[in-house]
Amino acid sequence: MRKGNVGAAVTLIAVGAWFLAVEVFPGLKAVAYGGDFWPVPIIGMGVILALIALVTWTPQMFIPAAIVGGIGGLLFYQNSTGDWGSWAYAWALIPGFVGAGLLLAGLFGRSASQVTAGLWQMGISLVLFLVFGSFLGRPALLGKYWPVALIVVGLLMLVRGFSRRRPA
């Protein structure tokens, strides 16, 4: 059986089991379809995708798992706190979720280049989050020196670009 078929089968079984549990246990229905916990199934789908990555040994599945789980976590935070205005700068975390997926895929797939790319993407995402958050609603995390973060990232990118080996 191909890995893709196993992944699809495991996904269908997990989603079916979740919805069956929601129908059988009334307490879960309130969690799944309302209240403060409606983002939990989104986080759960991220976990299922990560499990598929492990069961079928397809490390690239960690990338969508991190995206879905990260967005679910972000929605859970916003729904719990009512801080929906944080979308003005929280979107900058989404490339970081991709970076986290790349990092996991690189670790499980033993790819140093993916690990490096994931770390870079997470770092840039964090800087963007801090910069946009500093002037779009959060308390000034970096104060009036937030442009320094942009300068540092730019310098790091220049150093990295000049230090790469060129093919002969």
pLDDT band for position 5 (50/70/90)? confident
Contact 65, 101 (CB under 8 A): yes
Mean per-residue pLDDT, 138-152: 70
| Residue linked to tokens 């990092």 | 103
User: With 60 as the cut, is the pLDDT of residue 94 above it?
Assistant: yes
pLDDT band for position 165 (50/70/90)? low
Compute the mean pLDDT over every residue in the chain, rounded to the nearest whole number. 84
User: With 70 as the cut, is the pLDDT of residue 142 above it?
Assistant: no
Give the single-character DSSP code of 164.
Answer: S
DSSP structure string for 70-112: HHHHHHHHHHHHT-GGGHHHHGGGHHHHHHHHHHHHHHHHT-H
pLDDT band for position 164 (50/70/90)? low
